[in-house]
Chain A
Amino acid sequence: MVDEEIADLAQALLALDEQRAVAVARALIDGGADPQAVLQRGLADTMLEVGRRWNAGELFLPEVVAAAEIFRLCNEIVEPALIAAGGRTLGHRVVMATVKGDLHDLGKNMVGAMMKTAGFEVHDLGKDVPAERIVEAVRELEPSIVGLSSLLTTTVPEQRAVLAALEEAGLRRSVKVMVGGAPVTEEWARQIGADGFAPNAPEAVRAALALVGDERLAGA
């Protein structure tokens, strides 16, 4: 019965049926289903399937973004139960932010959506995020990866400031830092000592998988 409902949730997410997905997730949690199973088999595995379909050219980015949004809504329902039950984590954790002074978050959101299709647990700090808040999040959440985005040439230097702040807080060694955004180049990433760079969302996922040593990369 619960298995059927979890399959139903997966199907609704795959069909990008937001209302149904949210309703089924709510019914599952209210009915006392194991939140870990709901998260893993209902949502996270389905996001992997979304990623596979994107990779095969069957889905486009707007569909991945829609799936990620439904995932977020469902996760809001599942998470409290999960924390109460003491369970957690999907896979590697990623903290993402558009750096201070920059209000452009569309690219970062796309990367976040694609990251979810690869099984990453994504924590999005939003846009115009000061370095201190990013440092704080790294200390608190202990992510494997921090992703920094800027669209403006004027805010790109802020990526270097975040790296410096992590260094100062003694956290630089504990986390891999990826940078991206329209004006960001591989050369810039090297210059400021970032660990990874990607020119677009799908490449960001590949780079992230490589950074955490995920074997799925071989097939990517």
Chain B
Amino acid sequence: MGAERAPRPLRGRLRIEPLAEGDLDRIHEASLRVLESAGLRISSRRILDALAESGAQVEAESQRVRFPRRMVEEAIARAPSRYALAARDPTWDVPIGAGEGYLSLDGCAAEIADLESGARRPPTTADLVAATRLADAVEEVAILWPCVAVTDVPPWAQAVRQTQVQLANSTKHLQAMSTFTARDARAVIEMARVVAGGSRPLRDRPIVSSFQCSISPLVYEGDAMEAALEFALAGVPCGFVAMALATATAPTTLAGHLVTVNAELLGGVAVLETLVPGAPTFIGPYQAFMDLGTGGIDLAWGPEEVLFKLAAAQLARRYALPMNILAFATGSKTQDWQAGAQHAISLMGVAAACEADLISATGTLYGSRVFALENVLLDAELFDLVRRLLDGWGTGEDDLALEVIEAVGPGGHFLGQAHTRTHMRELWMPRFFDRRPWEEWETAGRPGPRDAARDRVREILAEHEPDPLPEDAERELARIVESHEGETKGAAHGG
């Protein structure tokens, strides 16, 4: 069964570019100017000292660092455009910079919508096991994120426990995106080395990667940046993601929003490539808008979201930096019209933005706060639809079907033609879109795609057994977790 499964990335072109060359220049220049004038705040003495030594202008007291233009431009040039995010099972290796887009799970949802009741509740380790096994089975999902924050372990133990669970329950690449401290990063790296077979094998085939988030506007936590450095030194790819909230933590205009986000991401890349030249990295210019009434995140993503990602993708292409792009975001509380429309429009935006390497993130509702297993399958269906759309079509002799058209002639039909039978299975087939006649749907109790997805989730969880880790590796991971928890607990209690 495992042999038949294969990755299904987005490939092909449908490029829409809202920014003209001159617009791109202006946004680039403005971003460099921000890094030179306002700079970033990074709360790590160690990193500020190292940056000062490399020619950045550092104000120790305010933890400000201002980047000379040349430093940023050199950093961009040093970042590799192509590398691989490897997987325990090489079938699932993700090539970065190959013009293909791979889908990941979403990350750290604070709640899960229960598969049986649909009600939300705090997630547990068992939920993360189920979600990871599901993602292992679904071909459209290529990259794991710790998709729920497991609440049955203390917060300071979560990042490492989640890594243990995901390494054990899938052979796909793990992006340990909730690893925010150097101590956690060291434990994650140690576990990854166990699974990969050592330090060198992990460097050659990083089965784990990570990213750190800026705190908009223009701040990086010292811990987060130190974690990034740990990863980079171990040869583990580490990207930077900005999740600025326009109107609150970024300007309201799209261009201003993009300038601050871009400055934050280029600043992250500048730190990493200055201190660890050539470290594999990527940028994730996410977009969110404030709800003008409540001050919370606007749960009705719309046209600005699509415009923003199209423009951000243009910038990433200009820099030849690998890119993570946000595809799935909805304010809906269930798998309904709003969720379907928002996901589909957003995903078409990704298809038109073209050639993003990493596409996040499947499985959530309600502003990414609630994870739902059935969403992984429904999102995968949309992803597969867009994958087919980007495949395009042929216009060869057989595609044009002249002979068949002539054979059938006026008034006939094509149902009985061998040409029809040869090609009909190339047509895209939905798994969850309902296509039953009304009567049949009525008789079945008016089920929706969500019901079908839920049934399929149950089937997959009952059937799919991910390749387990060797027993000694499992023991070793348990030992690392225990030692990390001993250390961290001590630190958490003022040790």
Residues of chain A at the chain B interface (Cβ within 8 Å): 16, 60-63, 65-66, 69, 106, 109-110, 186, 199-200, 203
Contacts and interface: CB of A to CB of B under 8 A. Distances in A.
Given A66-B416, A199-B437, 17 more contacts: A16-B421, A60-B425, A61-B415, A62-B416, A62-B420, A62-B421, A63-B421, A65-B415, A66-B418, A66-B421, A106-B415, A109-B413, A186-B439, A199-B438, A199-B439, A200-B437, A203-B440
Nearest to A103: B411
A106 B416 CA distance: 11
A65 B418 CA distance: 11
Contacts of A66: 415-416, 418, 421
A186 B421 CA distance: 32
Nearest to B412: A106
Contacts of A63: 421
The 8 closest A-B pairs by CB, nearest first: A65-B415, A199-B437, A62-B420, A62-B415, A66-B416, A65-B416, A69-B416, A106-B413
B20 interface: no
A203 B421 contact: no
A62 B408 CA distance: 14
B424 interface: yes
20 contacts: A16-B421, A62-B414, A62-B415, A62-B416, A62-B417, A65-B415, A65-B416, A66-B416, A66-B421, A69-B416, A106-B413, A109-B413, A109-B415, A186-B439, A199-B437, A199-B438, A199-B439, A200-B437, A203-B437, A203-B439
A62 B424 contact: yes
A208 to B, nearest CB: 15
A74 B424 CA distance: 26
Interface of B: 413-418, 420-421, 424-425, 437-440
Contacts of A200: 437
Contacts of B424: 60, 62
The SS class assigned to the B binding surface is helix
B418 to A, nearest CB: 8
A20 to B, nearest CB: 14
B63 to A, nearest CB: 63
A67 to B, nearest CB: 9
A215 B437 CA distance: 24
Contacts of A109: 413, 415
Contacts of A110: 415
Contacts of A186: 439
A168 B358 CA distance: 72
Contacts of B414: 62
A65 to B, nearest CB: 4
Contacts of B425: 60
A32 B415 CA distance: 34
A50 to B, nearest CB: 13
Nearest to A200: B437
A16 B422 CA distance: 12
A94 B367 CA distance: 57
Nearest to B438: A199
A203 B436 CA distance: 11
B185 to A, nearest CB: 48
A125 B273 CA distance: 79
A199 B441 CA distance: 12
A216 B416 CA distance: 27
B243 to A, nearest CB: 43
A110 B418 CA distance: 16
Contacts of A106: 413, 415
A55 B421 CA distance: 17
A189 to B, nearest CB: 12
Contacts of B440: 203
Contacts of B437: 199-200, 203
A99 to B, nearest CB: 18
Q: Which among A16, A62, A63 has the highest number of chain B CB atoms within 10 Å?
A: A62
B198 to A, nearest CB: 48
Q: Which among B413, B415, B420, B439 has the highest number of chain A CB atoms within 10 Å?
A: B415
Contacts of B439: 186, 199, 203
Contacts of A62: 414-417, 420-421, 424
Contacts of A203: 437, 439-440
A200 B436 CA distance: 10
A56 B357 CA distance: 38
Contacts of A61: 415
A186 B439 CA distance: 10
Nearest to A61: B415
Nearest to A105: B413
A66 B413 CA distance: 12
Q: Which among A66, A69, A203 has the highest number of chain B CB atoms within 10 Å?
A: A66
Nearest to A64: B415
Nearest to A66: B416
B422 to A, nearest CB: 10
A66 to B, nearest CB: 5
Contacts of A199: 437-439
A100 B301 CA distance: 54
B85 to A, nearest CB: 36
A199 B413 CA distance: 20
A200 B414 CA distance: 18
Contacts of A69: 416
A138 B395 CA distance: 49
A36 B203 CA distance: 73
B364 to A, nearest CB: 31
A200 to B, nearest CB: 6
Nearest to A106: B413
A16 B413 CA distance: 18
A62 B418 CA distance: 9
A183 B201 CA distance: 66
A199 B418 CA distance: 27
Contacts of B413: 106, 109
